[in-house]
Structure 1
Amino acid sequence: MDEGHKAAARRFSRRSLFAATGLLGLAAVGAAGVNAAPEGVRRVLHSASFEETTPNQLGPVVQTERMYSAARGREVDVVTILPPGVPIGGLPMSLLLHGRNGNAHTAAVGGLAEVLTVAVMSRLVPPFGFIAVDGGDNYWHRQPSGDDPMAMLVDEVPGWLAARRLGGPGGKPFACTGVSMGGFGAMLYARRTTELGRPVDAIATVSAGLMTSWADMSKRHAFVDVASWAAIDPLRTIDKLGPAPMGVWCGDRDRFIEGNRQFIAQARPEVGLITPGGHTEEYWRTVTPDVVRFLAGHVR
């Protein structure tokens, strides 16, 4: 990231973002969200031949296709969220992991796609994008059935990105972003990529689903026993998460607040913010500008 972009990222604030949103006339788009994208925004990828996102579009370029994941043993939806009017080749990409009972189409909470678009179009941050995939409800780790969403993220998604000339060398994402259960998954992704010798440059979590007791986690039916959970629980394996700078955001009335407080106190992430709010879309909209700013600061 050059000095100009670093300076822009430092100047990026909620106030400047919301002012830019008003100037660009995107308030209505932001309120609609990705799942209700305006006409022409959502379209299906048919090839990797395009060179640039739609230059005259104000909203985010949200593209969907169906891919077969060998790691999960099924077809999954793959959603890319790109800012308009930017070159595609080598565009830095962050994984975007959805929460429990969600999917690739619900991963961009809090108007994240629109926040990114405004920030990039206003030249407040360097261009980057997000890729979301269907991960199921099992906290992004391998199940006894063989369903392995983490292997999909580590082994398959880079190839899908590279085929579209997105991401770093070999399609590597520069970051991983996750909400709720996806926050747990993002931290686990940090560990797995570190173990493979290719850690990412940043991890961002919003309302991360960090449980402080097996009694609570067991209700999710995502782990066969307490030992399998404890072996990969980020709160219990902080020393294994690797060198990636982390940003952690959580509302003070969130159901996962205790786990997030403990993580911030023990891991001492680069950003660790507890602010007013619950596990809600309303709260998430208050922090997505900070999330984009944090990620932008780690774009190379």
Structure 2
Amino acid sequence: MPNRRSIGGALSRRALLAGAAGLTAAGLGLTTDSTSAPVEQRVSLAKNVSVERIYSEARKQAVDMVVIHPKGIDPRGLPVCLMLHGRFGDALDSVAGLPMWLSNSVAAGRIPPFTLLSVDGGPNNYWHRRPGDDAMSMLLDEVPQWLSERELGKPVAAAGISMGGFGALVYARRRRELGDPLRTAGVIAPALHTSWREMRKRRAFTNEAEWRSIDPLQHLHALGDLPVGVWCGNADRFIEGTRRFIRLTHPTYASTSPGRHNKTYFRKALPELVDFIGGHIHP
């Protein structure tokens, strides 16, 4: 049986909510030092956050699934945006700030309510299939089933930071190829390398051909007319690839304001990403 830590609120029959008010976490899509630590030690969960441990057949391991919904609003049936973590991160990274930013924007009337969902995708797999570990199939096939079983809405949007931004663009492409396109996507500092020499250092892809078959910069028109928001600091190490993506795809919104590849910039961009997703996630 999966180790359910919480689904909370109207879904309390499934688990018990951890109810502290804090909103701290190990990072924002970057690295974590102790992925084995109990969730209560790594984060303090607000009442609009729940964490459940569940087995992924696609990944051949148990993963954390984090659900964030606007404070005071029943999450059942709300549209869902996947929030994909960065390299060496995990699902719990999403707890840093997002519950507050989502709740504040909804309460202020800037956006309609929706749910953010994050799930462990692996430390260095760029959200693609690797031997014995298929994070993309987990997103495409298992996550919708998990959400349906919990009376939650279906994924209709995707977002991510760094490697998670790379993964969000790949996921959006796959959904369109399957005839079930997303409504919107948003990426912060997407890990878009402009050469195989640089990507090879990450040891994430078997060879250049595999990387090119997946890399969003090699499939610039694969998203069609999907509304996409892009943020990247102008001193970020991925700024060259991000600028190329912006120049050639003309996304709905693009920002290359001052900043580096760090939590300071991410905390500045994430509230804007939440509002962008909220403005496009409802039909």
Please give the TM-score of this superposition, normalised by the length of structure 2: 0.83
1:72–1:146 Cα contact (<8 Å) kept: yes
**How many Å apart are 1:243 and its aligned residue?**
3.3
Equivalence for 1:257: 239
- The change in CA–CA distance for 1:107 and 1:220 in structure 2 (over 3 A counts) is farther
- The change in CA–CA distance for 1:176 and 1:158 in structure 2 (over 3 A counts) is same
* RMSD between superposed Cα atoms in Å: 2.2
Q: Does 1:159 align with 2:141?
A: no
**How many Å apart are 1:293 and its aligned residue?**
1.3
Distance in 1 between the 2:132 and 2:166 partners? 20
**How many Å apart are 1:214 and its aligned residue?**
0.7
Equivalent residue runs for 1:214-225 within 5 Å: 214-225=196-207
Distance in 2 between the 1:102 and 1:60 partners? 23
1:41–1:62 Cα contact (<8 Å) kept: no
Residue by residue over 1:166-207, the C-alpha shift from the partner in whole angstroms, topping out at 9 and shown as x without a partner, is 11xxxx212001100000000000110011100110110001
Distance in 2 between the 1:194 and 1:123 partners? 30
Distance in 2 between the 1:122 and 1:270 partners? 23
**How many Å apart are 1:292 and its aligned residue?**
1.3
Distance in 2 between the 1:243 and 1:158 partners? 23
Equivalence for 1:76: 63
User: Could you tell me which amino acid in structure 2 is paired with residue 163 of structure 1?
Assistant: E
Equivalence for 2:216: 234
Distance in 1 between the 2:119 and 2:88 partners? 13
Residue by residue over 1:86-136, the C-alpha shift from the partner in whole angstroms, topping out at 9 and shown as x without a partner, is 122211110010000000011355x22221111122232211111111101
User: Could you tell me which amino acid in structure 1 is paired with residue 73 of structure 2?
Assistant: V
- The change in CA–CA distance for 1:197 and 1:75 in structure 2 (over 3 A counts) is same
Distance in 1 between the 2:257 and 2:40 partners? 29
Equivalence for 1:131: 117
Q: Does 1:101 align with 2:83?
A: no
Q: Does 1:90 align with 2:69?
A: no
Q: Does 1:246 align with 2:204?
A: no
Residue by residue over 1:145-171, the C-alpha shift from the partner in whole angstroms, topping out at 9 and shown as x without a partner, is 13110000000001111111111xxxx
1:34–1:62 Cα contact (<8 Å) kept: no
Equivalence for 2:127: 140
Which secondary structure does the structure 2 equivalent of 1:95 belong to? strand
Distance in 1 between the 2:209 and 2:47 partners? 42
User: Could you tell me which amino acid in structure 2 is paired with residue 187 of structure 1?
Assistant: L
Give every structure 1 segment of 4 or more consecutive aligned residues whose post-TM-superposition deviation is greater than 3 Å: 32-38
Equivalence for 1:22: none
Q: Which has the higher helix share?
A: 1
1:79–1:132 Cα contact (<8 Å) kept: yes
Aligned residue pairs, count: 250
Q: Does 1:200 align with 2:187?
A: no
Distance in 1 between the 2:58 and 2:224 partners? 24
User: Could you tell me which amino acid in structure 1 is paired with residue 86 of structure 2?
Assistant: G
Which secondary structure does the structure 2 equivalent of 1:297 belong to? helix
Which secondary structure does the structure 1 equivalent of 2:211 belong to? helix
Residue by residue over 1:6-61, the C-alpha shift from the partner in whole angstroms, topping out at 9 and shown as x without a partner, is xxxxxxxxxxxxxxxxxxxxxx956x3587989x963xxxxxxxxxxxxxxxx561
Distance in 2 between the 1:60 and 1:184 partners? 30
Distance in 1 between the 2:101 and 2:183 partners? 21
Q: Which runs of 5+ in 1 are unaligned?
A: 1-27, 43-58
Q: Which runs of 5+ in 2 are unaligned?
A: 1-20, 28-38
Equivalence for 2:157: 175
2:92–2:118 Cα contact (<8 Å) kept: yes
